[in-house]
Amino acid sequence: MTNDSELPDYAPVPSSALGPAVNEQGYFVGRVEKNLYWVTDSGYQAAFMTTRDGVVLFDAPPTIGHNLKRAIDEIASANGVSNKVTHIVYSHHHADHIGASSLFGRDVVRVGHAETKRLLQRANDPARPVPDVTFEQNHTLDIGGERVNLAWHGTNHTPDNIYIHLPDHDTLMLIDVVVPGWGSFAAFNVNADVPGSIAAPAEALSYDWKHFIGGHLGRLGTRDDVVLHQEYIADIAESARKTLATVDPMPFYAKYGNNIWAAVKAYLDTAAEHAAAPVVKKYTGVLAAADVFIVSTAFVILESLRLDQGVELPMHP
């Protein structure tokens, strides 16, 4: 049993980080722009577009699960259009974003990156059927007269994470890179490629759009949210760089002797805390949960500075 009084307290969540309330069934569905809609359960986000030829679904998080169908039915019946899902676009292979894909059966065209197909073949998960249509760099969907531009600009959160741009709806969907209004999830969103993930928001901003679908938590994003995320990550990297130059590892080695891992752990734990501290101070009240996962994110960014960029790696004389 965990006693409530033993659990840590955190800074309050700014109301600007919160999205709309969910209904009795646990979802909210709303219009992004024209015939493009988004669905959330306050933890995950998916989107769909109604067209004259059926519905295009973008991701299928299992936490939203059967509520995806309820949300589509609700909008389709209100607008007198077809509720039949004809296409599912996969943002990336992760089960938490597409694990409800199988609910839509076999009679759906699934579209994703070629690497998504390879990773899903490896996973062999019946909940995530492999894409029928794949691409390597760019792919344009023209469904029911609606345009969707898919692009791969290198590895970021995963090797297969794509940019989904709807130019006629002023919308960009890029999952698991920016969480509008919030600090990053643990270990910098458990990103596979740290430099690629740090670079991705600039790529996102190079597109024309007004509405950002980030895949997590309760609200959509704006260009300002993406810029704020860039500043927050740049501040963590800058603080980590300063930490590597100033926190002396020698006392940790002196204390732990031949237990090298104990010395390395104590040094890295101290360094991550040290790197995180000024950023927590600066972003508390600005980004929700700026004080929750940041030490693990600072650790990942600090290690990437060392390993990917060679910052402060000592050379034996």
Query: Of 74 and 176, which has the nearer Cβ to Zn ion?
Result: 176
Candidate ranges 25-33, 67-75, 93-101, 122-130; the one touching Zn ion (CB under 5 A): 93-101
Any contact of residue 128 with Zn ion (CB under 5 A)? no
94 binds Zn ion (CB under 5 A): yes
Residue 123 CB, shortest distance to Zn ion, in Å, is 13
Judged by beta carbon, residue 111 or residue 279, the one nearer Zn ion is 111
Considering the complex, state which of residue 46 and residue 76 has its C-beta at the smaller distance from Zn ion.
46
Residues in contact with Zn ion, shown as a per-residue x/- string from 142 to 181 under the rule CB under 5 A: ----------------------------------x-----
Q: Please state the φ and ψ torsions of residue 31, each to the nearest 5 degrees.
A: -80, 135
**Residue range at the interface with Zn ion (CB under 5 A); choices 33-41, 94-102, 137-145, 307-315:** 94-102
Q: What amino acid is encoded at 111 in this protein?
A: V
Considering the complex, state which of residue 177 and residue 275 has its C-beta at the smaller distance from Zn ion: 177
Q: Which is nearer to Zn ion, 94 or 139 (CB)?
A: 94
Residue 115 as a binder of Zn ion (CB under 5 A): the answer is: no
Are 243 and 271 in contact by the 8 Å Cβ rule? The answer is yes
Q: What is the nearest approach in angstroms of Zn ion to the Cβ of residue 94?
A: 3
Q: Which residue has the tokens 């690629």?
A: 196
Count of residues near Zn ion by CB under 5 A = 2
Smallest gap from residue 37 Cβ to Zn ion (A): 22
Q: Which of 75, 92, 87, 209 is nearest to 143 (CA)?
A: 87
For Zn ion, give the closer residue by CB, 97 or 274: 97
Alpha-carbon gap, residue 139 to 150, rounded angstroms: 5
Q: At what angle do helices 294-307 and 194-205 cross, to 10 degrees?
A: 100
In the complex, the smallest distance separating the C-beta of residue 88 from Zn ion, rounded to whole angstroms, is: 16
Residues 4-33 that bind Zn ion (CB under 5 A): none
Stretch near Zn ion under the rule CB under 5 A, chosen from 12-20, 75-83, 89-97, 122-130:
89-97
Q: With contacts defined by CB under 5 A, name the span among 48-56, 88-96, 144-152, 306-314 that binds Zn ion.
A: 88-96
Q: Which residues bind Zn ion (CB under 5 A)?
A: 94, 176
